[in-house]
Structures are given as C-alpha cells and as structure tokens.
Chain A
Amino acid sequence: MPTVDLAKSSLRELNHALHQIKAGSNETAWEVINPKGSHAVAAGVDQPVQVDVRGSVGYYCGGMNDGGAITVHGSAGPGVGENMMSGTIVVKGDASQYAGATGRGGLLVIEGNASSRCGISMKGIDIVVHGNIGHMSAFMAQSGNLVVLGDAGDALGDSIYEAKLFVRGKVNSLGADCVKKKMHPKHLERLRKLLDAAGVTGVKPEEFTRYGSARTLYNFNIDNADAY
C-alpha cells in the first residue's frame, strides 16, 4: 500500500500520483499521513482507489471525486466532496460548510455533524449525516438525497428544486418553497438503502420526515415576489 507523508511530500506530488493511476492498477489502496489541515487532499481522483487520510483536512478534500473511496479519519474543512461525480467519501469526524456542494453523484457520509450549507446546489449526490446540519442546507438543491439523522438548522431547502431531504430530528425552519412531504413506500425503500450504504444501524426509515419542493417558485410570478 503506497503511503504518502504530507510532512515530506508536497500536495502536488500526492494528487499527481493519484491522477496517474490507470484502470486495472494494483495500487488500489493508498494512505495519506500528516495531512494537518491541507487543502484539496485527494482532489480529482478518477479511478476506483481507496484513499485513507489519517488526520484532519482543510478545504475541498476529495473535490470532484469520480470513483474513489476516500475516508478521512478526522474532520474535514469546507467543501468536502464538492462536485463529486461518483464514488464514496466518508468523514469520520465533523465537516465544515458546503459539504457535498454541487455534487452530482456518489455517496458522502459525515459521521459527525455538518455545518451550514450542507448539500448546497446538490445535483444528484447522496449525502448522509449522522449528526446535525447547519443553516441554509440544501439551498437550491437540484437532485439527489440528503439524509440527516440529527437536527437541521434554519432555512432548510431554501429555493429547492427536485432534491429529497430526509430529517430524523427537528428542523429549525424551512426555507422558501420547501415543504414537508408524505413518505411513500418508495421513499422508505430509498432511505433504507441509503442508511445501509452509509453503515447506519439501529435506525428505521420510518423515523424520518421527508421534505422537498412545493414547486411554487418554478416559474416566475410577481405575486410570489416576497419569497424571492
């Protein structure tokens, strides 16, 4: 297993080495030690490799990940898994703002809490947060699923499009055009799969409430101006 020590190697060397991996390579398990809050760790991975980061990372860890399985054995700074295409990112600790921003696919698991704007502008990613999420999460969320085992802060799902939000705890307030929705069997099934994939045990899909778009802001209407 290649180990990259960021106290000795540069970030550029690490990411370049990860980008050089070709399909079918045997070096499919990497370890990164001493990240010490470095930004853009394992950004742009485009092969199905496992990257274990031993420690906490700064901004944009696993940015644009496309197929990698990245585990942060610590906490993550802003924008972890931003614009992820596919693959998995697991953060063992907490995550800062904009976790999974604009993500298009794959699964992002935050085992601790996530901060504000979690899942902002998400475009197909699945995000599972074991703890709580902060304010303005899922702002303008387009598609994908955001699952929160704890509570959500203010203005959840403001200006949301077709993303689906599942919250087990309480929601401080809903944003413009975001409403509580009925949980149908297909949603329970989807939730069960997401909880399984995220390694969540002892929690039932029936404990969650679903939120999504009321679709009243989809086409401009002057009488909705106070919502804009």
Chain B
Amino acid sequence: MTYKNPPTTPRKSATFDDYTLSEIRRAAATGIYDIRGGGAKRKLPHFDDLLFLGASISRYPLEGYRERCDTSVVLGTRHAKKPIELKIPITVAGMSFGSLSGPAKEALGRGATIAGTSTTTGDGGMTEEERGHSKTLVYQYLPSRYGMNPRDLRRADAIEIVVGQGAKPGGGGMLLGQKISDRVANMRNLPKGIDQRSACRHPDWTGPDDLEIKILEIREITDWEKPIYVKIGGARPYYDTALAVKAGADVVVLDGMQGGTAATQEVFIEHVGQPTLACIRPAVQALQDLGMHRKVQLILSGGIRNGADVAKALALGADAVSIGTAALVALGDNDPRWEADYNELGTTVGAYDDWHEGKDPAGITTQDPDLMKRVDPIAAGRRLANYLKVMTLETQTIARACGKNDVHNLEPEDLVALTVEAAAMAQVPLAGTNWIPGKGGF
C-alpha cells in the first residue's frame, strides 16, 4: 500500500472572505458602489458589552410594580418658552416621508402618541399623516430644505437642525428616482423620477459661529417658543457637542454609527463615524465641562434595541434615547411573513436593506401604492406603542434593581464592562476589577 499525502483542507482567506469577494464581483459587474439602508452591520463594541451591578448590601433595590420609578423627561428647558414633556425617555428618530410611505409615517405617529413620546419628520418635509397623528412632532431642518416652510416650522413642537447622522457623518443623501412619486416630487420641488440628492452641508451657514446666527433666526421666526435640537453624527462628539451648546442648542441629538439611514454607500456606513458606545462619554464630558449637563439635554441614538440599552445610555449620562431601525421593525420591517418576497429580491428576512429601491415587501420603505397597503397604520402603530412600553418597563426594571426611583438616576457607577474596549469607551471598570483603561486602577 502506497502512502498518500494527507490532503490540505481548502482554506478561505480571512481578508478576502466570501462577502468581500462578492462585493468585488458586484462592483466589477455593475460599475456602481453599493447603496443600502440601515446602519453599520459589522460587529462593534456596544451596550451588550456592559452589565449592571444591581443592588447589594450597600445599595437597596426598589419594589417592582409598587415603588415609583419615574421615566418622564422634559426637553428644551434652556431657552424655549414651550419645552417638550415626554412620558418616556425614548423618542422616534427622523425618517423622511419619501423614504417611508405615508401609512408608515402615520403608524409612527400613532404609536409614539399612545406611548407618550415624539416622532421626527425627516428629509422631505412634514406630512399631514404625521402631523395629524403625532401629538409631539419634531421638525427636522436639513441641508436640502426639502418641504421647508414657516407654517410647518410654527406648527412643529420642536425643531431639529440636522448637521449629521451616525450612518454617514459628512454625507448627504440620495433618494433614487424609483421612489420619486408625484407626491414626493411635489413636496421636494423636483421632477418626478430623477435621483434626488440631499446636500451634505447647509446652504446658508458654515461653522459654529454661523450656526449660532441660524439658530437665532429660527428662534425669531418661531418667537422663541420651540425647543431647538442640533443633531450630530458620531464624528467628534466632544467638540461637536460643545460647539452645539455654544451655538445655543436646547438639546443635542447624538447618533452613533449603528444609526440607520434610508440610503447611503455601504463604504460610508461601515467606515465613517464612531460606535454609539464610543460617542456618549465624550459628549457628556463636554456638557459637564461647560456646566450644561442636564441643562442642555442629550438624546443618544444608534443601535438602541431594548430597555437594557436605554438604561445603559441613561446611566452614561443621556437624558433620552431615540430609535429608528427598531421602530421600523416594530411596524413590520423584515417580518418573516414576507420571506418569499424577500427571497425573490435575492435576500432574506433580517438582511433586507435595499430600502432605497422602493420595493420593500413590508410596505414601509416604499411609495408603491400596492405595497404600502401592507402597513395598517392603526395595527402597526399599536405594535410600536407596545414595543415602546416594553422598553420602558425594562428600563424601569433595571433602574429599580439598582435602587433608583427615576431612570435618570442611573449612573456610571452602576455599570461594569465585559471587554477592555468597552471599559475604555464607556469609562467604567472592567468586570471583576476596578480598572478603567486610561484612568488607572488595577
């Protein structure tokens, strides 16, 4: 019997993995970069890398369902005559009409209103569906100024000046022609069917000194009634937060790279910006250094999924969080009941992200009249309300376990980190030690 050399197991490259190879082939075949919706999909340090300690001999817990644990939050207390009062510290992030269908926007308004929180317009103007069904509506003031007008500015409950978003700090948007229906085209003053580019930079101001004057103008137009938020992407959270405060913001909205978008280049989503976990402490530090923590409220977004994420964000110093992707999932995005339709589009449940193409089987990110009928705004709104209430209960559960009678009393001292990276970013000790990287301990 002759000895046969043992075969080598075929080995795939970690650098050139299957996904990378498929991307090279796709780019070579189509000549265009990949555009998709959603936020960063790669694994990132996140709130899952943190744990709460809970009560012990030195701290006693509060009784669930019996002892009060407040969740309400007031936003815009710095300058606005009419600050916003929310029952829960979870808001719904800006998502445009155009990107989303009318019924989906209505469902967001209905759900948020039942739960006692706000929704936010998005790049494309204010629709009657959303204004009519959102008790508290935040009107975004974006570089494109699509649909911007003083009447809507005055009937908003707050105004959010969008400087950036976590999925693409420094990037604008692109609504592809197939989603530009007559109604969308009309709201944006552009011809039907053409690609609509949303500018990356505001047309009439640059830099923090101009922003201060822009905020002044908006306050003057709205007679100083409305809270003015400034939304920033997770780029330079310390300085951007400080500059937003300097420019006069009532509220800073900080969006990490897990935050979604309707459509951006994959390379942008995955390679520009910082994870949400890495953004929060520098932003809180900036507020503390300026003596403005809790005076200018901080809303954190980007990958918030459950009450544990909410509790961790609040413990690290946020006043509220915002959800986008999770809200869409509650409405029915990527629902398994449409699996056959997802397969037909070459994808599967949980992976569908071609929101820009307007073919969404769930009927949410589309302007197709037949597809959008798949969203029943009343039922979908109810699901969102349920989900928001569950998140709130979860947040309270953790807060009570840590002995807090208000979810905003959670603090960094209630947390430890499971990884060195998370310990360094969140500035809490690595579990089992009192070591905070960069801060000493052992």
Interface residues of chain A, those whose CB is within 8 Å of chain B, are 11-12, 15-16, 19, 39-40, 43-44, 46, 58-60, 63-64, 66, 78-79, 82-83, 85, 97-98, 101-102, 104, 117, 120-121, 123-124, 139-140, 142-143, 159, 161-162, 218-220, 222-223
| Given A59-B213, A161-B190: A16 and B223 interface contact (C-beta under 8 Å) | yes
Which of A58, A140, A222 has a CB less than 8 Å from the CB of B213?
A58
Q: Which residue of A lies closest to B146 (CB)?
A: A123
B195–A85 CB distance below 8 A: no
Contact with A along B417-439 (1 / 0, CB 8 A): 00000000000000000000000
Q: Are A219 and B204 in contact (CB under 8 A)?
A: no
Rounded to whole Å, the gap between the CB of A118 and the closest CB of chain B is 11
Given A15-B220, A19-B223, A63-B217, CB of A159 within 8 Å of CB of B189: no
Which residues of B come within 8 Å of A, CB atoms? 30-32, 144-145, 148-151, 153, 174, 176-177, 188-191, 193-195, 197, 199, 203-205, 210, 213-214, 216-217, 220-224
List of A residues within 8 angstroms of B190 by Cβ: 142, 161-162
- CA of A143 to CA of B189 in the docked complex: distance in angstroms? 7
> Chain B interface secondary structure, helix, strand, loop or mixed?
loop
Whether B197 contacts A140 by the Cβ 8 Å rule is yes
Given A59-B214, A104-B149, A218-B195, 13 more pairs with CB closer than 8 A: A15-B221, A43-B217, A43-B220, A44-B220, A59-B217, A66-B149, A78-B204, A79-B204, A82-B217, A83-B150, A121-B145, A161-B190, A219-B177
Q: Are A102 and B220 in contact (CB under 8 A)?
A: no
Q: B residues within 8 A CB of A142?
A: 188-190
- Min CB distance A11 to B, Å, is 7
Return the chain B residue nearest A143 by Cβ. B189
In the complex the two chains form, what is the Cα distance from A200 to B188 in whole Å? 32
Q: Which of B177, B203, B213 contacts A102 (CB 8 A)?
A: B203
Contacting pair B221 A43 (CB below 8 A): yes
**A11/B189 in contact, CB under 8 A:** no
Contact A83 B145, beta carbon cutoff 8 Å: yes
Chain B: CB-nearest residue to A162: B191
List of 7 A-B pairs having minimum Cβ-Cβ separation, nearest first: A44-B221, A222-B31, A218-B194, A98-B204, A79-B204, A40-B217, A102-B145
* Complex Cα–Cα for A58 and B214 (A): 11
Chain B residues within an 8 Å CB radius of A220: 32, 174, 176, 195
Cα–Cα, bound, A74→B174 (Å): 40
Nearest residue (CB) in B for A215 is B194
User: Contacts of B191 on A, CB cut-off 8 Å?
Assistant: 161-162, 218
The closest CB in chain B to the CB of A161 belongs to B190
The answer to whether A12 touches B150 (Cβ under 8 A) is no
Given known contacts A121-B203, A220-B32, A64 and B195 CB-to-CB distance under 8 angstroms: no
Cβ–Cβ contact B204 & A101, under 8 A: yes
Q: Is there an interface contact between B217 and A117, defined as CB atoms closer than 8 Å? A: no
Given contacts A15-B223, A44-B150, A222-B32, contact A140 B195 (CB under 8 A): no
Q: A43 vs B224: C-alpha distance in the bound complex, in angstroms?
A: 13
| In contact, B213 and A60 (Cβ under 8 angstroms) | yes
A85–chain B nearest beta-carbon distance, Å = 6
- Give Cα distance in the complex from A222 to B151, angstroms: 40
A60's partner among B151, B174, B193, B217 (CB-CB below 8 A) is B217
B220 proximity list for chain A (CB < 8 A): 11-12, 15, 40, 43-44, 63
A60 surroundings in chain B (CB, below 8 A): 204, 213-214, 217
Which of B174, B189, B223 lies in contact with A123, CB distance below 8 A?
B189
Residues of B close to A83: CB separation below 8 A = 145, 148-150
A sample of 6 inter-chain contacts (CB < 8 A) reads A12-B224, A98-B204, A117-B203, A123-B145, A220-B32, A220-B174
Chain A contacts of B176 at CB under 8 A? 220
Report how far A79 CA is from B205 CA in the complex, Å. Answer: 8
Tell me the bound Cα distance from A117 to B199 in angstroms. Answer: 14
Give CA–CA (A16, B191) in the complex, Å: 37
CB distance from A102 to the nearest CB of B (A): 4
A81 to chain B, nearest CB (A): 10
Assembled-state Cα–Cα distance A159/B198 (Å): 12
Contacts of A124 in B (CB 8 A): 189
| Measured CA separation A64–B194 after assembly (Å) | 27
Whole-angstrom distance between the Cβ of B195 and the nearest chain A Cβ? 5
Which residues of chain A have C-beta atoms less than 8 A from B214's C-beta?
59-60
- Which of chain B's residues have a CB closer than 8 A to the CB of A219? 177, 193-195
